[in-house]
Amino acid sequence: MIEIACKKTKFTYNVYHITKAFFPDEEIVQKVDEKQESLVGLKLPGGSCFSLAPGDIAGEPAQDAACFHGSEEDAAQAEKRAVTRRVYCFLCEESGRELAWGTLTGVRPTKLPMQMLEEGKAREEITGFLAKEYFVTPAKAELGYEIACREKALLEKLDCRGGFSLYAGIPFCPSVCSYCSFSSSPIGVWKDRVDSYLDALVRELRAIGRMAQGRYPDTVYIGGGTPTTLEPDLLRRLLTEITENFDLSHTVEFTVEAGRPDSITEEKLAVLREFPVTRISINPQTMQQKTLDLVGRRHTVEDVCEAYAMARRMGFDNINMDLIAGLPGENAADMENTLSRIEAMQPDSLTVHSLAIKRAAKFGQEGRTMDLHSEISQMVDAAAKSAEKMGLKPYYLYRQKNIAGNFENVGYAKLDKAGIYNILIMEEKQTILAAGAGASTKVLLEKPIRTEKGKEIDLVHVENVKNITEYIDRIDEMIERKGEWLWR
């Protein structure tokens, strides 16, 4: 067990997640004690201890600069970074290794290079800053810079302020994968209420269409869950409602997650072809049958190949495939084998996730933990090389809490097949209007507002309830929440 004691609440998030990244198998007990003298204290298994006094961070460059040149808020942020740096250095020494992303704990590591690009900073300055200030490895600093450049170029082609993106969520799957913590449920459990759910979703979509009158969606994304769990007539109804309630003349990308191969049929793909769908996902996660069986995906490797071939025959020319590095029981050799099978299919884009063990996922609940740093490192590197071999370039990146090995999720794509919605949802440069259970709307305000705590914000999150029954029963409330913010 690891014990962490922080003097200030603001230190707890970074210290916990940095420590967990170094010691993923250890239980961590954390407390805040404003009366303690040290800023942070750690007690590791085996008796090693660490204590950081206020005077110990005076030499940190960020802390010194903020004290002399920054505002009170800048100084507070700099103090937090300085504490995180010192904790990180101690844990590096104790564990004998470093983290690929250094002290960066947030979900958007490309945010910093993107901001610096917009300020006109050069490559060397950006990568050097990430390495010096946050201990990011040279390879990851280069990756962050490269992706930020591609994101910036793609977003400059859109009217991010004037337009918006639309998301519709279908929270059903053929079965729930044991590593999953998304808001999804087995379709069989809800078969008698799918129509009711769709009624509520349509009601919300129509309301959003009225709210967005005169504006045009740049991208449309139907996700979940697995949207193709809907029967063909219901899938057609959903797509019809979207095309009738939104002007898609300016839409550059229309994605439907066909995700699970066991949800794909020729009839459903034919329905998608009736509408302006430009991009679909067929997601194997792995091409190892032993793993598919273990994690509860009720399909075979052959099903993946057959669904993919069927989609190609029916004219889909922008297909994404998802893989997960670090699934239970898999090693680097398994990933190499999976990648070789993916290469034979030649998808237009490939998204490689590092497994995140969340409390809501079955693996997390069962207390399963894995020390996979070395294996995942090899898997991630192999995926990058495989993507390059297929002519796919990295174009977006994000991370999750408790991600195995403290790595990242990277999207690779042919240069004209990048998933633009993925960039928009990460970079928060555009309003995302989202409908469905658990859907999260992001409203980019026309004028910043100041919160009760005095912080200025220009982005507001409006969350729908996750529970499917509650969503159906409270749909008018979900609609009203959005109306309070659009378009301020």
pLDDT value, residue 178: 62
Predicted confidence band at 185 (pLDDT cuts at 50, 70, 90)?
confident
Q: Long-range contacts for 383-389 (Cβ within 8 Å, ≥24 apart)?
A: 383/323, 383/325, 383/335, 383/339, 383/350, 383/352, 383/410, 383/412, 384/352, 384/410, 384/412, 386/339, 386/340, 386/342, 386/343, 386/350, 387/350, 387/352, 387/412, 389/343
Domain ranges, ordered by start, for the chain: 1-97, 155-432
In terms of CATH architecture, what is 155-432? Alpha-Beta Horseshoe (3.80)
pLDDT in tens, 191-244: 889 999 999 999 999 999 999 998 999 999 999 889 999 999 999 999 999 999
pLDDT in tens, 267-322: 999 999 999 999 999 999 999 999 999 888 889 999 999 999 999 999 999 999 99
Q: What average pLDDT does this structure show over 447-453? A: 77
Supply the DSSP string of 371-389, one letter for each residue: --HHHHHHHHHHHHHHHHH
Predicted confidence (pLDDT) at residue 357 exceeds the cutoff of 90: no
pLDDT in tens, 229-275: 999 999 999 999 999 999 999 999 999 999 889 999 999 999 999 99
Q: What average pLDDT does this structure show over 61-83? A: 66
pLDDT value, residue 66: 39
pLDDT value, residue 142: 96
Lowest-pLDDT choice from 9-13, 29-33, 145-149, 371-375: 371-375
Dihedral of alpha carbons 81, 82, 83, 89, sign: positive
Predicted confidence band at 173 (pLDDT cuts at 50, 70, 90)?
confident
Predicted confidence band at 368 (pLDDT cuts at 50, 70, 90)?
very low
Predicted confidence band at 26 (pLDDT cuts at 50, 70, 90)?
confident
pLDDT value, residue 252: 96
